[in-house]
A and B are shown apart, each in its own frame.
Chain A
Amino acid sequence: MSVARRTFIQLGAGATVGILFTPTVWKALDDVSIWTQNWPWIPKLKYGAVENKPTVSKMCESGCAVKVRTVAGEPFGTMGNEDNPISGGGICPLCANGVQVKNSPNRIKAPMLNGEEITWEKAQEVVAEKLAAAGSKVAVISGDQTGTANEVFSALLADKGSDAFYVMPCDMQAADKAWTGLMGGSGQIGYDLEGADLVLLAGADALESWGPTVANLKSFAANESGKFIFAGPMQTKTASVTSEWVPVPAEGMAAFTLGIAYYVLQAGKSVDTGDFGQFKAMVMSEYTPAKVEAATGVKADRMAAVAKQLLTASNPVVVPAGPVAAHGAAFALNLLLGGAMKALPEFAKAIPTAMSRSEMLKADILDGVDTDLLFVYEANPAYALPEKVKAGFTVAFDMVQTETTATANLVLPSLHPYERFDDLASPYGLAAATYSLGAPVCKPAVDASSAATFILGLADLGFASFEEVLGAKVEAIGADMDALQGGEAYVVEGEAPMAASLAANVLGKAAVPVKGTGAVGLVPYTLLNVGTANQATTPNAPCTISNNQLLGDYMVVMMGSATAKQLGVSVGSKVKLSGGKGECEALVQIFEGVMPGVVAAPLGLGHTVGDEFSKGKGDNVYKILTVSSEAAAGASTWAGSTVNVAKI
């Protein structure tokens, strides 16, 4: 027995030594180490042709003309489209994350009726039934400012005898109310930022979130000889790169603009409108530099200096933001100066019964909405409106879960811009009317459908699909479909604006600064990487949000040291801001680029529904905005919102 054991041990020892003299062990070790490259959870690369497919992205308010980078037909990145004047090869922080949002787990995967998954056929039945019952008590809230999808929705409203088409509050709306409403102008206002030799950005933070941001940045970069001045309550990122920052409170922007108009009128400038004399008299008596200084705190000689620069420029332009009055005052000043403000023609409609863009902008959502059946198209009123929107039954179309889809009765998943046909017609702010088209660049990732095609199935509007509507649109405007699908834009240059009136009566009253009763003024500001009213921050954007907007899970508000002293707070203090109908919690940061007596807070944080990048991050400033009436202008505004600040 012991013999066999010893022999066996010797044999085994020999075998062990022998195997070490072969490649077996070493090869096995090598292969095992290589095998660790291939854990099953490691994503596999997709191989195939790399293509740049042109389309449009609708994630920011203006929309970006983009090229989607795909490999074997699968998108993996987005970049600007250098062939399109809207982007000129650039891209905004929201649209840059288009692929990540397309693949987000937060996407709505199928139609949901009161939380239960249903089929598209069932959804069509439910909506048809509700539509029949609602009669003319049907309304639409659209978060899309530039799409022909709005024509489809408004044509449905027209079919039902309703004109309740609402857009989320935006500068395009305020501009339209001022231009076509008060001043009797026609077309859409645009600003030639590239061609102007002096640009006064009157509240428009054009290089970060106002208007077609990417096009603005391109114009700013191309306009080497032009001078840019920023006026506003806070030294924004835009202000940081302009030649001059003039601190002006938001509610005083219209008065400030008329204060400049005083000097311009004094220099003998005039406009050929029926009420020019009345306007001149109004400004010369009610908006003298001394009165404006008393109302806004802006020194008269500061206004005189700005006016002098505007008067000596050969092609100046004033770019407004905020309330209707601020727009009206800026338009009047632009007409006096005769500079780089343009009037853009509206493109022909694809659906004859649809509203024009100007008609779509007329209804004031801040007045409140009360209807039996409400369609919400890629907007988030439950998050971004302080007033409750009331509806018997709400149908929400969106790509991703939002506060609005969480409360809607029926939620219908929209196709992502890369999965659908869509268009971008004249984003507000551009100096030329531009039309861009987008076609699907990949297959839908979820069981989504085109919202507009769904609506076309509810009434006989003359089209079976949204693709057909877009075909008709392209034909109506006389553009070339192949060129558009190749990523080029159809461009019609803007013209010199002509107004019937300077709205002297209205502006005289509406430009008076009206401020709330809170301890300090509130300056809400938008940064695209933080998010907009309709779009929360996107997956790659949080790493670009600074500690001056979000620290940990806390929102950060900024104020000057004098304001902090007045409120008894310091850097890092945790405070509660109360205003409007709500409260917000925030940390304090000192920034001397905020006017004394005001606190600046970022819009777009504090989502209660969404993905890990936005949900529970910071607080929602829309809760503490106060809606005030621009009585004379017949509109509502958030400018002049104030808050009380308490240390907690």
Chain B
Amino acid sequence: MEERKASKRCGGVFPFIIGFLATCVLGWAVIPGLFFQKEEQPVWFSHAVHVDGQGMDCESCHYFRDDGTYAGFPTNEVCAECHAVDPEEAQAAIAEEGIDPNDYDAIMKAGIGAIEDNLASSDEDKMQAEREYVVKYLIQGKEVPWLNYQYQPDNVYFSHASHKSLSIEDLASLKKELSDVVDPSVFEGEAPEQNCNLCHLKDIQTNDVPPALERNVLSGYSKTTMKMWKCERCHALKGQPNACYTCHK
């Protein structure tokens, strides 16, 4: 009897409400964050150093090839146009020093002239990032496995060429309708010459420290990988076809 009374005292909707509120808080504030793990870029790449410091523009690295395809990330071949370390000369110098060519730390510490004399940076921290790129990738003939914040699944055909004429200024009239698809701050201020901000991090060209990629632990995709409904929404608003074969070739 005593126990039944106690039950009545502690019963009712109170525990239900406690449970309801607790998972609501967890489900909105805590759990979503657990779906993502942060991954750093393999090399510290500063857009600010290259764009502001060296006066490069976006197309210097992110360009359309002659066949109309988009090159995405620059290859070693492009980087080597400025980072003038000769891989063969560097490897020969490493061998001369008797250093294991796979021991990157030892190479970086050795202060090898064939590398050091050709570094373009002046600040020590930036020089170290450049040195890391040169030793780990350029002279090894390996491409940098850059993390793509926006990459799409293989079963999606996305053409940058088809989207390059979209104008942020023109799209501003659809600001409200696009509020779920595009970061509304993209439409604030004066519209930039290029429309990269529509999908990519706003003002990435001024970024000094590349943000970590947030990878979904279940799906494996980046947090900023565009979902299908976003593509469909924009296509619908712009009067473009939404048939499956438009994107799934």
Taking Cβ atoms with an 8 Å cutoff, the residues of A that contact B are 1-3, 6-8, 10-19, 21-24, 27-28, 31-32, 34-35, 37-38, 42, 44-45, 47, 49-50
Contact = CB atoms under 8 A, between A and B. Distances in A.
A45 B31 contact: no
29 contacts: A2-B7, A3-B3, A3-B7, A7-B7, A7-B15, A8-B15, A10-B11, A10-B13, A11-B19, A14-B15, A14-B16, A14-B21, A14-B22, A16-B19, A18-B21, A18-B23, A19-B24, A21-B24, A22-B26, A23-B27, A23-B28, A23-B32, A24-B27, A24-B32, A27-B32, A32-B218, A34-B218, A37-B155, A50-B65
Nearest to B12: A10
A10 B16 contact: yes
Contacts of A45: 154
B22 A18 contact: yes
B18 interface: yes
A35 B69 CA distance: 28
Contacts of A44: 154
Contacts of B14: 10
Interface string B3-41: 110110011011111111111101110011001000000
A31 B32 CA distance: 12
B53 interface: no
Given A14-B15, A24-B27, 6 more contacts: A6-B10, A27-B35, A28-B35, A42-B154, A49-B65, A50-B69
Interface of B: 3-4, 6-7, 10-11, 13-24, 26-28, 31-32, 35, 65, 67, 69, 71-72, 153-155, 216, 218-221
Contacts of A21: 20, 24, 27
B154 A24 contact: no
Contact of B20 (A15, A42, A47, A49): A15
A407 B96 CA distance: 50
Q: Which residue among A3, A13, A21, A44 has the maximum number of chain B CB atoms within 10 Å of its CB?
A: A3
B216 A31 contact: yes
A22 B31 contact: yes
Contacts of B17: 14
Contacts of A17: 16, 19-20
Given A2-B3, A49-B69, A34 B20 contact: no
A439 to B, nearest CB: 19
A2 B4 CA distance: 8
Contact of A1 (B3, B19, B28): B3
Contact of A14 (B10, B18, B220): B18
A71 to B, nearest CB: 9
A494 to B, nearest CB: 37
Contacts of B26: 19, 22, 24
B201 to A, nearest CB: 20
B34 to A, nearest CB: 9
Nearest to B155: A37
B19 A18 contact: yes
A44 B155 CA distance: 10
- Lowest 7 A-B CB distances belong to which pairs? A22-B27, A14-B19, A15-B19, A14-B16, A18-B23, A31-B218, A18-B20
A7 B3 CA distance: 12
B153 A37 contact: yes
